[in-house]
Amino acid sequence: RNHVKGSVLATLLTLGAMQRLLLLLAAASSCTIVASDVNTYSHNLALRGGVLGLGRIGGFLRTASFGNLNSPNVIAPEGAVTTPHNIALRGGGEAVVFEEIRKLMEEEKLSESAIRAFKQAYEALVRGDDGMIAEMAITPAEDLPTLADVKTEVADDKVQKLLEKTVVMKLNGGLGTGMGLEKAKSLLSVKGEQSFLDLIASQVEWFAKNKGSVRQMFMNSFSTSADTKEALKGHPDIIKGDWEVVQNKVPKIDASTLRPAKFPPNPAKEWCPPGHGDLYPSLAGSGTLKKLLDAGVKYMFVSNSDNLGATLDLSLLNFFADSDKPFMMEVCERTPADKKGGHLAVRKQDGQLLLRESAQCAEEDEKAFQDVSKHKYFNTNNLWIRLDKLQEVIDKHDGVVPLPMIKNSKTVDPSDGDSTKVFQLETAMGAAIESFSGAGAIVVGRERFAPVKTCADLLRVRSDAYETTADSRLVLA
């Protein structure tokens, strides 16, 4: 060992200052802190920005996370080969901590797919990943096809063949807590006595009568499943068979220890929803993905239940099927009112489409991020997915779809700001666009994007500014 130390020292002494820096950074980027003290290791010390001129080394500096380098615990065991996810925490290390999390999730009967997906998010938290996407690493998404370009009359025989291979999925797990609700937002009345769910059911029934039957499913949460089934009992054809997938839940993480948060007065508050990126582990873990594939279902159209403009469009289905793309996102043109929201972009390295959210934008890139004439398109959360290609992505990545982790800082009891500070780890389903090689996007009009996120939105769609079409879509009058 002394011989190796001497050789390294001799090598360093013969190099110039910049060469020594490069050599040390290269060595640092291939090593990992494997026994960091939780009291000295900080998961949020990721270095950001300021070193763009150093190329790959700059990339390392922007994303690397370091503990206290003076700590005696920052020592790799002799002969250990480590990777970034091996960063350990005192008290057993990351692997032991996640085994604790795994046990909790297994006790709640959560699937292996759900556990692996959360492990991916938890490892990102421990590494200190900030998910930043630099402006210099992307180019604007341009020359996208539009719905007007592909609008066409699809022959009846082709329509029937396509519908036999299609399922429509409505995301219906939200409680509308931002609107002061404690039940499914989709139970709210929108027009007269008709709720979101009533209008969705009417859309399905109109489509079956005028175009052809198509499978309809809902992704509910534990909090919305029973209420949704009760609300739809007047539409028995919709809630028959495998009509729903139930969203998973994940443990809240104590911000100070990075361990599962505890709240003995109400253990239910130790859990939270994992975001709509949970669509993928929910489909896989419930066995629904396999059932759909076995039944010959190839195409899935996904949208939010509070977006009554997002119906199954045959021209879009036909275009998606003919394009042979694995994944297609409906996007709208950004306006100044949308400048703070996320946008679609193209990664320079490989030409892959991706989403960049505001939390992934460094301060120095904010002007470019908000330039709606440059980054022109935002995600509507209306997605078209090839289920066979989804299975390939899952198989390729050890049972998960790679998704950026979204870290929300909360308190374990949302009603008590003085309760334990926690992280709620979520993912977004649209971010999967960068996991599908050859994914595409299509520009649609605002008539396909009419979400209700606030009480003001609800009052707007209830007003005479909106009307209900014959096929139960909600459009501007």
Q: Supply the residues annotated as catalytic.
A: 453
Produce one character per residue of 421-435: b if its CB has 16 or more CB atoms within 10 Å, e if not: ebbbbbbbbbbbbbb
Task: Output phi, psi for 453, to 5 deg.
Answer: -110, -20
DSSP state, 7? H
Question: 3-class SS at 362?
Answer: coil
Which amino acid makes up residue 249?
Answer: K
Which single residue is written with the structure tokens 């000295």? Answer: 40
How far apart CA 393 and CA 281 sit, in angstroms, is 12
Produce one character per residue of 58-96: b if its CB has 16 or more CB atoms within 10 Å, e if not: bebbbbbbebbeeeebbeeeeeeeeebbbbbbeeebbee
How far apart CA 326 and CA 323 sit, in angstroms, is 9
Which amino acid makes up residue 239?
Answer: I
Q: What share of the chain is helix, strand, coil (3-state, %, to 5)?
A: 40, 20, 45
* Number of residues that this document lists for the chain: 477
Residues 6+ apart with CB under 8 A from 366: none
Both structure tokens of 428: 């977004």
Which single residue is written with the structure tokens 């398109």? Answer: 377
Where is 191: in which H helix or E strand?
strand 189-191
- For 14-83, where are the alpha helices, taking DSSP H only? 17-29, 56-63
Both structure tokens of 225: 């499943």
Which amino acid makes up residue 197?
Answer: L
> Parallel, antiparallel, or unpaired: how do β-strands 343-347 and 138-140 relate?
antiparallel
